[in-house]
Structure 1
Amino acid sequence: MRKLILIGASTGGPGHIKKIITQLNNITTESSFIIAQHMNKDILKSFVDQLSTCTKLPVYLVQDKKVIEPASIYVCNESLRFSSIHPLILESIDEETIYVPSIDTLFHSATKCLPDYGIIAIILTGIGDDGMLGIDTLYKKGALCIAESQSSAKVYGMPKAASEHNPNIEVMDIEDIVKFLHNV
């Protein structure tokens, strides 16, 4: 089954995402990675360029209407959701969100992809609680859900909120998340 790996992060996230993406060179994957990293739009392009130097997989900065292909990495340039018309198209949303890009919006919309695609949702380091409700919804629909542990998170806000809201979500150090992704 093709996997969609959703990663949400904020403060401290770029380094952790780079660690995950760098390790993808050591594995063959048909999985698609969709990343919602809270970051100013002006520097997201530079972040995507940095990620592109760390992997053989194509890395795209997505603003609207992008078809999700296997073995590719997508970084949200704004709040995106999976389309209700076709589950493997990312499209922008019209409403304003507190966090941009909104992890909750991305995660909630990914339920449309179940059960045809395997979903792995990961909340990494960050301030606030973005992703908490979305990852809970995905968990309840059968997705595999992971929150970064306090010991490896630079800021233990978002992963803490997610794991306290739903204690059944797996909690892992960043190194264990990297190792886990080698087996998907």
Structure 2
Amino acid sequence: MTKLLIVDDSALMRRLLTEIFTTAGDFEIAVARNGAEALEQLGTFSPDVITLDIHMPEMDGLACLDRIMVLHPCPVVMVSSLTAEGAEETLEALALGAVDFIPKPKGALSLEIDAIAADLVARVRSAATARVPRSHRLQERLRARAPRRLPAASNPPASVQTTIDPSPTDIPGLVLVGCSTGGPPALDRLLGSLPAGFPWPVLVAQHMPGSFTGPLARRLDRLCALDVMEVDKATPLASGHAYIGRGDADLILSRRAGHLVALPAPMSEAYLWHPSVDRLVDSALRLLPPQRLIGVLMTGMGNDGAAAMARLKQAGGQTIAEAESTAVVWGMPGALVSRGGASRICALDTIAGELMALLTP
């Protein structure tokens, strides 16, 4: 049985979540009304996974998460509103160590939560198996004691020092990145380690709602030497830039007036997850030879991207799978490895260096 601690100040939300996970049949459940009660339960109940509301009295979810990661590091799934403020707070929570988030229903709670019950259970089950790096998170927590809006814990490592001259008029190739659960902090470290002169545009399909990808792009732009933007319209590609696919859509490539552009496309029912990594890679393979593409598949639940990146490697392109030792959830990169589709398997903090080596003559 998986020991689940549900933390929410709403009695109705606690009851509904308890019913959902009791019905699932493989959870032992405890509840807490706020962050202070949750911390008291860490020693007595010792949860395997926690669902944690952000807005609570006495001690809010972010303050509670900070303490959990020191006192009892374990997978935490945030319960978040799909607003701009909710997105910023959720990204901060992911930087502090939360492994995933679930949307808080907006309408009649008892009706809407039934529609997302299956997804809730799947996400919490997956989170319960996630890797939480305990000693590393403790060091981050010690650095995060100063007041912050964006926590010091999210600061990426120093950029790779190798310099490549950018080519402002030519795009020799593309880096295609896919990630899901655990992806935002992984993107901090990958994109934050690439220099401003990185010569290939980087396109990112990160599974997220539409209200989250804009704040994610703005946050990464503040942290990175690259210029980072959300693709919310047809956008010409340039070196030294990273492009985040808009949530609730797919990110695809097209050619207009002889130039490569990225653009959002309506979600296709042919793909299960969105923005779809498989669809992004397939669209790139239709426009560029595989030798001018590098696929990077990082932490995430499921297998999105594995099939298309395996085709990319088979056609002669390069692919990198994040190593199991650093992935929060090794679903997506593990699926690529199991297909024989990974040219390289790299720990997260070495992926940027591998990209630089591949692009350095």
Q: TM-score, normalised by structure 1?
A: 0.90
Taking the aligned partners of 1:9 and 1:167, their CA distance within structure 2 comes to 16
Report how far residue 127 of structure 1 moved: 0.2
Residue in 1 that maps onto 2:218: 49
Deviations along 1:29-60, one digit per CA (max 9) or x if unpaired, are: 22111000111211111111110111232211
Taking the aligned partners of 1:30 and 1:70, their CA distance within structure 2 comes to 5
Taking the aligned partners of 1:74 and 1:91, their CA distance within structure 2 comes to 10
SS of 2:194's partner is helix
Q: Does the CA-based 8 Å contact 2:178-2:204 persist in structure 1?
A: yes
Taking the aligned partners of 1:92 and 1:46, their CA distance within structure 2 comes to 17
Provide the aligned length of Structure 1 versus Structure 2.
183
Deviations along 1:85-127, one digit per CA (max 9) or x if unpaired, are: 6571223334233211000000111113433872110000000
SS of 1:92's partner is strand
Residue in 2 that maps onto 1:182: 356
When you count helix as a share of all residues, which structure comes out higher? Answer: 2
Residues 79-88 or 52-61, more deviating: 79-88
Q: Does the CA-based 8 Å contact 1:13-1:37 persist in structure 2?
A: yes
Taking the aligned partners of 2:290 and 2:340, their CA distance within structure 1 comes to 24
Residues 164-173 or 43-52, more deviating: 164-173
Q: Which blocks of at least 5 consecutive residues in structure 1 are unaligned? A: none
Taking the aligned partners of 1:101 and 1:168, their CA distance within structure 2 comes to 21
> CA 1:87–1:166 in 2, change beyond 3 Å: closer, same or farther?
farther
Identity across matched positions, percent? 27
Residue in 1 that maps onto 2:346: 172
Q: Does the CA-based 8 Å contact 1:110-1:138 persist in structure 2?
A: no
Taking the aligned partners of 1:168 and 1:71, their CA distance within structure 2 comes to 25
Q: Are positions 1:93 and 2:262 aligned together?
A: no
Q: Which blocks of at least 5 consecutive residues in structure 2 are unaligned? A: 1-170
Runs of 4+ displaced beyond 6 Å: none
Residue in 2 that maps onto 1:143: 317
Report how far residue 9 of structure 1 moved: 0.2
Residue in 1 that maps onto 2:176: 6
Taking the aligned partners of 2:223 and 2:341, their CA distance within structure 1 comes to 33
Q: Does the CA-based 8 Å contact 1:124-1:148 persist in structure 2?
A: yes
> CA 1:139–1:167 in 2, change beyond 3 Å: closer, same or farther?
closer
